[in-house]
Amino acid sequence: MPNARATHLTRRGILAAGGALGLGAVLAACGDDDPKTGGSADATKNAKSGPWSFKDDRGTTVKLDKVPANIVAFTGVAAALFDYGIEVKGVFGPTKTKDGKADVQAGDMDISKLTILGNAWGQFSIEKYAALAPDVLLSTMFDDAGTLWSVPEESKDKILKLAPSVGISVYDRQLPKPLERMLALAESLGADVKGARTVEAKKKFETAAERLRKAAKARPEIKVLAGSASQDIFYVSGSNLSIDLEYFKALGVNLVEPPAKVLKASGGWFENLSWENVDKYAADVIIMDDRTATIQPADITEATWKKLPAVKAGQVIGRTPEPILSYDKCAPMLDNLAEAIEKAKKVA
């Protein structure tokens, strides 16, 4: 990342650069511009006609004469709505990989049917957005200031003049809350939230949560560290602020994290370590940022990484710092961590 860009990071930039989120988002933002059905595809068509309103997590109530049809959303939000049968017209954020496949944040969406306004964090084509004649823009929020995720600060005023916006908070709360809020948003847009698929997915999530609780209680000695890798820096996440880590801790998972005074430099999100110091915190299980803009465990070549006890023991799994907020996508996150703790050897 160019030094000029790095030295002008605002608080918003810090959030993009790391926190629980790792460096991936900012690496993507510095880059060049550039089907499996999740539910009832007819849910949007079957939405009730007449006025529509939704109160978002900024306390803003958006009111329209009819249920939005031309929806534009951050990729992860669009993927969550797709699982509930709601399809969007346009997306912004990581959507398509270099080989043309769906990004991990795109979930089960058929990305060939989407207008991609920007394929990385912070990329947003106002021209393409305007051409879609959007009814509403949807995104998440990673701070308490109401900042819409991946909507560029420098052009947000122009963007937000074109259509009303809705923000779902994923800041400093546990995973179940934003899941509930996304479900409520989907219902307002016409999703059948009482349908068998959604009911079963929620049940699986609750079962997975109980499994993780039991695993953590049975194996309190197993230490879990959340990391994210870039070329020069290894990020260690704090357990506060991130919806997944806060929930894991609430379920009893023994999370290894930097002290609060160290986390303060990043607004509470993370500590950045050189690869020479990657062994600063002892862990039995490492959960690694799975987003495509970050370096994945199999591609890490640093000798210090390979010498870590958890790595040598094969006790490294993926972590999704920006979960697709549907019960269908979040249940496996809990199951995977529970299984890792259940099977882990004490190596730290």
Compute the C-alpha angle 58/173/145, nearest 5°: 35
The CA-atom distances, in angstroms, between 70 and each of 51, 82, 130, 136, 164 are: 15, 14, 11, 7, 12
Residue 43: is its pLDDT beyond 90? no
What rounded mean pLDDT belongs to the chain? Answer: 89
Joined tokens for residue 235: 């990020």
116-167 pLDDT, tens per residue?
A: 999 999 999 999 999 999 999 999 999 999 999 999 999 999 999 999 999 9
Cα dihedral sign, 183-189-192-197:
negative
Reported pTM: 0.88
Percentage of the chain exceeding pLDDT 90: 86
Q: What is the reported pLDDT for 50?
A: 79
